[in-house]
Chains A and B, each alone.
Chain A
Amino acid sequence: MSSAPESTIQHTALWPQQPPALTTIDPPGRLVVPLGGGMEEPHAKPPGTAVRAGEALVRRSDELSHTPVAPISGTLGAVVQVMLSNGKRAWAVELAADKGAAEVSIPPAANGDRGDLVAWIERLRSLGVCANRHCSPDLIGQLNMAVSRPMEMVVCTVLDSDAGLRLNAAVAAHHAQRICAAVALLGRLTRARTAQVCVEAYAGPQWVKSLRTAADAADVRVIDLANDYPQSDPTLMIYSVADRRLRPGALPGSQGVLLLDAVAALAVGEAMLGRPHLSTPAAIHDHVDQRSLLLSVPVGMRLDDLLSAVGIGRQGVILRGGDLLRDIRLSGEAVIAGGELTLHVSPPELPNNPQPCIRCAWCMETCPTRVQPAVVLEAAQRGDHAMAQAAGIHACIDCGLCSHVCPSRLPLLGALRMMRGN
């Protein structure tokens, strides 16, 4: 049952009347598809191998979180190291496009086919479903955790950190049925007591109408949440909906909650129909020309190619992935995959010249998890890890709000990351 707030008038002015459709980006001539895995190079198929869209790119995927599949038909190239959109590095394989070949087809799951969780995990892996970003951490890992312990609840978040980049909200508006079906399925598979979708309180009515209807039909609850940044962070989300305390970096499954965002839920919904994960929704905010774009992008597309496709200049701009304030810098060679799906293109910035700390305590008052960033900075300057622990560094969720509000422009986020060893 949905629980709409009594008044939705005052905030709807911030929402466009209708959720925009995502624009499909044609794949370029060359993609660089992440293979996942750790330090060791995955067993990719040899260079020169012809693959069809949806076909696996590796010979063995036991050690991998998912089976990387070809987003388009083409010929494999070399295995390289690539930067993902969350700033981390991973192995990837180059894929040169060949538009003539047909897509691999997998039969959809029959209606009412419950299967068991292990079978569904294997199905999702084989279809290349992978979600590992800040607001939707390691979906396959969470499902694996659910094999050994039942989940208390499944939470699908439709909150977007940036009001100008409502990617999850737009995806949920256009694919409400599939998302709710996926959430309901995950709830059944993980034996969760409740399955719910969290939407932003005071969202535009047209943005959530279809979602509420689909949720009612699928027996999924709709929860309205105030969306003050960084509400979509797993630690804050689980604290808000389940009143549990999740350590930053830990999987939500450790607190009995399966957490995913709307885009990940859509990927699961597509997998129910047997469709492999060939493209992913993404959003770009161009701070230079002050415009936002919602796109559907082939997995493995380089940022340089993407920016060229949408007509955004690359000269001198700063690329950041994920939430803007997290300041995850990317190069043009980074690729879009299952990582962060929002990209910020910013003009060049003047060098920062911090001033001494004035002990205003704004960083502490702003921190959503009550860390003392100024004390951590002092600990970083002294190299004192015990001091950093006493200041609560273990609770830092990397939101960047401390640096955002500091009047002295101190590198608080950098100090926190340094002391955590990131």
Chain B
Amino acid sequence: MSQLEAPATAAAGKSQLHSGIEVGTFVSLQMLAAVFPLAAGFALFGWRALGTTVCVVASTLAAALLWRNIGWRGRQMRLWHCLWMAILVSLMLPAHLFSTKPIDGVVPWPILPAAGIMLAMVIWLLGGLGGHRIHPAVATVLILFALFEQTLTPRYVLRLDRLFWGDLLKAAAPGSVVLQRGAWVVVSKQPAGSAFDALAVVPAADKLLAYTSAQKRPDRASQTLQMLIRDDMPPLEDLVIAGQSSPIGNGSAIMIIVGGLFLLYRGLIDFRLPVLTLAAAVVAILVLPIPVVIADSGTHWHWLAFREHYLGWPTAITFMNYEILASPLLLTIFFLSNAPGLRPITRRGRAIFAVVLGMVSAVMQLYFFAPVGPYVALLLASLLTPMLDRTLRPRTLV
């Protein structure tokens, strides 16, 4: 009897006909990718970040267990989907919320279970995985931002020698300790701050928004874009690697990109969205007018692509890098914008969606809401998805 060794190809899984990758696998791989930025957040923001995540996840699951029993919408809820959304929400929240001490007069810890319960309710309202056109996690965070903007502003980051176990709220009050400006790795080592676990850092996104929306009044006669970058902004490596105050998931751009590359490798996200969104955001930032000089006499607006003689490409590109890295744009394009139901199903539709997302993100970041600009942009861009799905059908081969 002639026989061939049968390679282990098609015979995997319970059914001979199925690949074996089910919805649970799909969601668990998404959560696995989120481990990268989450781990960076636990390192940079300590046990309070872990507490924040646990609180949000636990409250979401508890609320979901209840809301699953309510009506036909409840029957569409899946616990693994709620878990995934809860992890995403925790990535978008700052770690200092896990505290009983008042911050700006508000005791922040109730925000965490409220976030979880609200998330469960939003998921119930919008439908299960693939059934919603609005991202439940994004909607939840935007509602919280509208209600508690000041409390949700991140403000601390652990010192390099206090990673993981340091107390984020054990930071010097602003002005009480004088530290030399520099990269986070350098500032962390300064003895003047060694009595504290964390550094108080104004988020880069807030500084940028204050400047680009012309809300900031110059300390001197005038302030130029170069002065902003040179004097006010942190080193770029703090945004790329680590060292800036930010939401838990946005602490390290590198870890977000690693998580995104994992999703790309596993085929869970379409490369068009991150690539085209970034490209569109870059172009928009270079083309949209920003204040190149803010003076008492007025503000001089100009676009960076066609720059004045005193602005060079290095300044333009550096500013563009700050805008991209200081905002949650990377988190949005890798972990949020590719959600099923949100992104169009056709390739051309996704390309258009990505370009719109990038451009609107740039507008939001520059003029309105730098800390949550990409989230608002995602909300607006996803309104186009049904129309794109209806009008842009793929051409069949025959």
Contacts and interface: CB of A to CB of B under 8 A. Distances in A.
A392 B398 CA distance: 9
Interface stretch (B2-10, B40-48, B93-101): B2-10
A419 B10 CA distance: 27
The residue among A23, A239, A409 with the most chain B CB atoms within 10 A of its own CB is: A409
A368 B394 CA distance: 12
A320 B25 CA distance: 28
B215 interface: no
B271 to A, nearest CB: 12
Given A287-B11, A360-B340, A404-B18, A21 B2 contact: yes
A270 B23 CA distance: 51
A358 B23 contact: yes
Task: Describe B's contact surface by its main secondary structure.
Answer: loop
A37 interface: no
Interface stretch (A69-77, A107-115, A218-226, A342-350): A342-350
Nearest to A327: B17
B213 interface: no
B398 A245 contact: yes
A16 to B, nearest CB: 6
Contacts of A357: 130
Given A324-B16, A405-B19, A364 B397 contact: no
A344 B395 CA distance: 34
Nearest to B22: A407
B340 A358 contact: yes
B397 A350 contact: no
Contacts of B22: 355, 407-409
B265 to A, nearest CB: 16
Interface string B363-398: 000000000000000000000000000000111111
B4 A359 contact: no
A356 B131 contact: yes
B1 interface: yes
A125 to B, nearest CB: 30
A164 B3 CA distance: 10
Nearest to B25: A407
Tier of interface size on chain B:
35 or more
Contact of B130 (A163, A235, A359): A359
A390 B391 CA distance: 11
A405 B21 contact: yes
B227 to A, nearest CB: 47
A331 interface: no
Contacts of B3: 20, 291-293
Contacts of B2: 20-23, 293-295
Interface in A365-419: 368-372, 374, 390-392, 394-395, 400, 403-409
B128 interface: yes
B89 interface: no
Contact of A239 (B16, B341, B397): B397
Interface residues of A, number: 65
B76 A394 contact: no
B20 to A, nearest CB: 10
A217 interface: no
Contacts of A318: 16
A349 B15 contact: yes
Contact of B16 (A166, A346, A359, A371): A346
Given A246-B398, A364-B346, A372-B345, A356 B130 contact: yes
B14 interface: yes
Given A21-B2, A235-B398, A394-B396, A359 B345 contact: yes
Contacts of A293: 1-4
Contact of B398 (A20, A247, A349, A403): A247
B340 A163 contact: no
Interface of B: 1-11, 14-19, 21-23, 25-26, 76, 128-131, 340-341, 345-346, 393-398
Interface of A: 14, 16, 20-23, 162-166, 235-236, 239, 245-248, 285-287, 290-295, 310, 318, 320, 324-325, 327, 344, 346, 349-350, 352, 355-361, 364, 368-372, 374, 390-392, 394-395, 400, 403-409
Q: Which 8 A-B pairs have the closest CB atoms?
A: A358-B130, A395-B396, A359-B130, A392-B396, A20-B2, A369-B397, A361-B345, A164-B6
Given A235-B397, A349-B14, 12 more contacts: A166-B4, A248-B398, A294-B4, A350-B14, A356-B76, A358-B26, A361-B346, A364-B394, A368-B397, A372-B345, A407-B21, A408-B23
